[in-house]
Structure 1
Amino acid sequence: MTLPQQYATHIQASTCAATVASYSEPVAAWARQYFGQWWHAAPENAPYGWNLVEADVDPAGLAAITQDVLDYPHQETTYATTPMLYRRTPGRAVLAAQPDDQLAYRYDRGAGVLRIVGGEPMAVALAAARLAREVIRGQLMMDGWSILHASAVTNDHGEAVLTFGPKGAGKTTVGLILARQGWRLLANDRVFVKPAGDRVRVLPWPSAAAIGFGLLDALGLYDPVADRVKMGEELHPTQDQTVTDALMTGSRTPIRNAKGKELKPQFHPHQLADWLGLTLATEGRAARLLFPTVTPDAKPTALDHTPTLTDADFFTAATEDRYPDVFDLLPVGTSQDADRLAELLAALPHHALTLSHDADANTALLTKVATV
């Protein structure tokens, strides 16, 4: 009897790795698209071993695992905005179900295999990529890496400029402007960092990049993106349909949901290169920290005061994570290198900036500050 072919994608970040395997080729291909160059995603010929994420469209398996969760006492949480039911078995397995998304999970911790089954291919592909990232995230954190809320670009020598601030402060603006000026984009919103001697290594956090209409337009990127959408090419599937509709009609008016949050085009990592013409980097060494604020009508200026990192600049699962550690993939506690990391980052040049909505003036200021 001929067994069905299993497809796989190997993902590597520093010394940490995971494999996404599926009998559905689009699921494995989605992982390659999701992680791309940032996490060295490539086809894998032997999808076996530790840190394996198996993901398939399997209605029977979905029903069986879901029932196995419901038949016993279980807990409930919200995972990726959707209710999740889960329980731990005496045999160290974790079973979970998201009935609204037609997804179910079984993680055998002793074997290092996470099984995902679902009723719809795209839901399975999204879940597989999401959990593969969590698998590698756990390994990186065990190896002493921490996560910062920052965008990052590197120069030809691998020196990285990290940009900090709350939502709307200009992290994405700084990253894209410098990337358009020949820097390599390392991350859009989060980075992994780790002390290495007297330097800080920086790795990307692969995810969809949300870029607003105004910034795309200011950088001359709106029309090329809209043209691709009109020709039938697709952005990330989590993008709101109203954003796609606006691109189809050429509308540049920002769209907001009922809570006032701006809804933005969502780009796959590879589309930052293929659609926007940016060069991506896979690692860097922290060299400079920027702290911008955006004031629409102000003159872009480097400010006199020296800003400092705050607790809000450090990503912590307990306070901000959309993906609670249901499957016990993450280490408990703070990295033992946290104090050394803070010391090394504090020693780097810090710059507070005021940016405006004038793309040319912002570019002139950022080009000067980033290379001082």
Structure 2
Amino acid sequence: MNLTSVKLHRYKMDLVTPFTTHAGTVEQREGILVEAIDSNGGAGWGEGVAFSTPFYTPETVDTSWIMMKDHFLPMIKGSVIHHPSDLPKIVEKEQGHQMTKAALEGALWDLYAKQQNQSLASLIGGVKSAIPVGVVVSLSENLHDLVPFYEKQGYKRIKVKVRKGYERADIEAVKRLSSDISIMFDGNGAYDEEDLENLASLDDLGLLMIEQPFKAGDFYLHRELQRRMDTPICLDESIGSYHDAYQAIQLGSCKTMNIKISRVGGLTEALRINDLCEASGVSVWCGGMLETGISRAHNIAFASLPTMTIPGDISASKRYWHEDVIIPEVELQGGQVEVPWHIAGIGFEVNRERVSRVTQETFTYPL
């Protein structure tokens, strides 16, 4: 790939509205944009989506910054990388840090697609010209106003962050506000064994799915709940690798999976998990984070695969940002996002002036 350098951009951006889950509230987003540069001056972009504190995963922006500049970048210096899928083998001896690995690999995928003069979507086997999308509604938001608003915008699915102990009331409140939109709720690992029967009692609500009610890695409790319900159980935080996905399928812990590129260490692993689920009859969809348009563009390409049958977490840029870092920004048309088939790479131009304004620190590593 003729890499010459990698530049890190540590950014800070205000959210349009605070985003609240049982674990905390995020009002301002920190993250890392990764720019991989080749000998022709071409650039590919990825994004590190760890949070400022370890409330979601053990990774943070600080640990990601250190691992990138002190470990992963020195590891690729002198390595021959012909294809982005070569990277996982180079960095695999360092345990964990999946989001950091995914950020670097994402930059390589964007750059490689540009070098091949292909859109990332077409490079990985995508087929869709547009993808139906969903939206996440947090506990801090005004559901009475937002649910009808999102329905009018054409969102096909609403994911609700419910209050523990008030699941039925919260879900029924959303159902009353919407006439024709699929509803799911995200447990974010807040439940334990004593909640099994209460969760199973929600089967009559006709939910699209219940996502990650129990802690990450608890395949047993997810299996026990799935045995009690027709409603699909979806695993999110439990799936950090191909091995996790294989284990969940063998145990019968879920009927669907949320595949997040960042959480599984990059697009290479995400594609492997996607293929495994297809072969096993487990439905999949593309999950998202509180991320800029760079990471969102990677998700759009991934969600263009024919296996992605459920609307994913790919909202419009304006859902989270006053101004995104890409041109054009991600927009909805009739509840769908267009896949940029005819533009090489991730299909969006990085707004360097905007990146410069939100960047707090940079680091360039020559290769």
TM-score by length of 2: 0.27
Looking at both structures, which has the greater relative contact order when contacts are Cα pairs under 8 Å and sequence separation is at least 6? 2
TM-score by length of 1: 0.27
Greater strand share, 1 or 2? 1
Greater helix share, 1 or 2? 2
